[in-house]
Amino acid sequence: MILVLLTYKVDIAQIDALRPAHVDWLKQGVADGRLLVAGRKLPVTGGFFMARGTLEEVQTWAAGDPFATAGAAEYDFVEVAPSILAPGLEALGQ
């Protein structure tokens, strides 16, 4: 599993303009079984998501994010292996 941290590189107005396409991309990731969770950093300086796949697979997939294609965000990828999970989150350990 890969944890991805996004940091915005452009003005929030540009992010807001790209957000609908970004959200559609995220929803497709859920439908495809790739994306597990996504959200914003607080304060809103970027976001995060957790995705299934190898590091290379997730990097390739993330390159299609509208934030990435527009050069609006920087991505940091961290491979993780969850080992302790709260009840109801068992799918994160798969």
Domain segments of the chain: what residues? 2-81
Name the residue type at position 91: A
Kindly tell me if the per-residue pLDDT of 88 is higher than 90: no
> Tell me, what's the pLDDT at 32?
97
> Measured between alpha carbons, how far is 93 from 15 in angstroms, rounded to an integer?
32
* More confident site: 63 or 89: 63
d(CA 4, CA 14): 21
Whether residue 94 is predicted with pLDDT greater than 80 in this model: the reply is no
Q: What is the pLDDT of residue 33?
A: 94
The domain over range 2-81 is classified in CATH as 3.40.50.880? no
Report pTM. 0.91
Q: What is the pLDDT of residues 24-50, one digit of tens each?
A: 999 999 999 999 999 999 999 999 999
Q: What is the mean pLDDT of residues 5-14?
A: 97
- Cα separation values, 82 from 2, 14, 72, Å: 10, 34, 29
pLDDT in the model for residue 64? 98
Residue 49 burial (CB < 10 Å; 0-12/13-18/19+)? Answer: buried
Residue whose tokens read 């929030």: 12
- What is the DSSP secondary structure assignment for residue 84, as one 8-state letter? -
